[in-house]
Each structure stands twice: as C-alpha cells, then as structure tokens.
Structure 1
Amino acid sequence: MILDSLKNGFLYYGINPRLQRAFEYLATTDLRALELGRHEIDGDAIFINVMELDLKRPEDAPIEVHNKYIDIQVLVDGTAEEMGWSERRNCSKPCGPFDEQKDVQFYADRPQNFVSVKPGQFAIFLPEDAHAPMVGQGHIKKVIVKVLK
C-alpha cells in the first residue's frame, strides 16, 4: 500500500507501465466534474469508477483483495476516508470464493492498520494488499482507478 499526494503520482510510474497514464489522467481531469459510473481510459486495461456513498463503520467494511488489478483510490469530495490495510497473506477468513468476473474476494478478517486519506491524496493497493475502504463518517465522492497489473 502507498499513501501520497496526487502531485507525487509521477514517483510511482515504475511500479507498472500503465500507472503513468493513470496518474496523467488524474492530473489533467477535473475529477469533481466526472459523472458517476465507469469511465474508460484504455479499455479494460485502465478504467475508473466514480462513486458517491456514505461511509461505514469499520466493522461494516469487509477486507477485499484483487488478483488482476491495482487500485488507485482518490477522495474527491469529503473531509477524509479511512482505509484499512492488511497483508493479503494474513487473510484467512474468506467470505465465499474469489469472483473472477469482478476480480474481488472479500474476507471477514479485520485490518491490521487504518490510514486517513484526504482530498488531493491517493492510496495505491497492489494485489498483495488487502484493503477495507469507505470507512468513516459522512458522505464522499471518490474515484477508483483500476489498472491492469
């Protein structure tokens, strides 16, 4: 997991060749003006999901993991979003099988740590990272960039 400011996105281009395009899109797009739903940047290789939602209590936010995609999660509107993190290898309580179509599996395990993401910041979750997003109080708008690993 990486937590940083959007202005430093260029520092992470080397993790995956597609991250450069994803961060360039984030830097040149008015994220607040984006309509809710899916927006393709490069087909299924890079796309974003824009959502508005009410944040949850930590115990109501399951940990999730992905096999094919890296997540870049960006808070657009709201004061802060708490995101739980654990090492994927430490997750031992699956809530059903891995959903290949949605590239997600949920776990009943509790996160090892929580970080607070504020507007203008991002969190990167690699397939090795289990994460529990959307924790806190209030209503937010966020962007999740899905980058094929």
Structure 2
Amino acid sequence: MIFDSLKNSGLYCSLHPRLARAFELIGSTDWTAVEPGIHELDGRDIYVNVMDVDLKRKSDAKLEVHNEYIDIQVLISGREESFGWSERRNLRRPLAEFDAGNDIQLFDDEPQTYYTVRPGQFTMLLPEDGHAPMVGEGHIRKIIVKVRR
C-alpha cells in the first residue's frame, strides 16, 4: 500500500512500466467532466472507473484483493475517504472464492488499520494489499485507475 500526494507520483513510476502512463492520465484529465463508468485509457492494460458514491460505515466495508491489477485510487471531490487495510497474507475469512472474471475476492476480516485520503492525494494498492474502500460519511466522486500487472 502506498499513500502519498499526487505531487509525488513521479517517485513511483519506476515500480511498474505502466505507472508513468497511468499517472500522466490522472494528472492530465478533468475528472469532474468525465461521465461515471468504466473508460479504457490504454485498452484493458490501463482503465479507469469513475464513481459517484455514498460512503459507508466501517462495518459495511469489506476487505478486497485483486490478482491482475494494481489500483490507484484518487478522491476527486468530497472532503475525505477512508480505507481499511490489512496484509493479504493475514486475511482468513473469505466471503467467496476468488472471482477471476472480475479480479476480486472479498473478506470479512477486520482491517489492521485505517487511513484517510483527501483531494490531491492517492493510494496505490497492490495485489498484496487487502483494502476496504469508501469508508466515511457523505457523497464523493473518485476514480479507480486499474493498471495491469
């Protein structure tokens, strides 16, 4: 899990060949003007899910993991969004088998910790990270940029 300011995104581009392109697209797009939904940025190697959502209580947010994609999650509007986090290797309570078609598995474990993202910041979640997004109060717009590993 990485949590930082978008101003520092260049520090992470060497971690994967597609991250430079992903961060370039994040920084060069007016996400307030993009329709909600899935948009391919570089085919299925880099795509974005633009979401307008109501945040939920901690008890309603389930930890999730992915195998094929790295998530870069950015709060576009709203005050803040919290995330639960745990190491994937410590998750013990799967709610179902891994869904390869949607690249997701949900868990009912309690997160080890919570952290909060505000506009101008991002969190990057790797396949080793269990994460429970969209925790808090209110309505937000966010993007989830999916980068194929």
After TM superposition, is the score higher than 0.5?
yes
Using the alignment, how far apart are the partners of 2:54 and 2:142 within structure 1? 11
1:13-24 equivalence runs, <5 A: 13-24=13-24
2:72 aligned with 1:72, yes or no? yes
Using the alignment, how far apart are the partners of 2:139 and 2:91 within structure 1? 29
- SS of alignment partner, residue 9 of structure 1: helix
- SS of alignment partner, residue 32 of structure 2: helix
Equivalent pairs: percent with the same residue?
Answer: 58
* 1:109 positional shift: 0.3
Using the alignment, how far apart are the partners of 1:93 and 1:132 within structure 2? 14
Structure 1 length normalisation: TM-score? Answer: 0.99
Gaps of 5+ in 1: none
2:29 aligned with 1:26, yes or no? no
Give the aligned residue type for 2:91: C
Using the alignment, how far apart are the partners of 1:34 and 1:77 within structure 2? 13
1:47-86 equivalence runs, <5 A: 47-86=47-86
Aligned length: 149
Give the aligned residue type for 2:130: A
* 1:15 positional shift: 1.0
User: Where does structure 1 differ by over 6 angstroms across 4 or more consecutive aligned residues?
Assistant: none
What is aligned with 1:4?
Answer: 4
- SS of alignment partner, residue 17 of structure 1: coil
Structure 2 length normalisation: TM-score? Answer: 0.99
Deviations 1:118-149 (A, max 9, x none): 01110000000000000000000000000001
Give the aligned residue type for 1:17: P
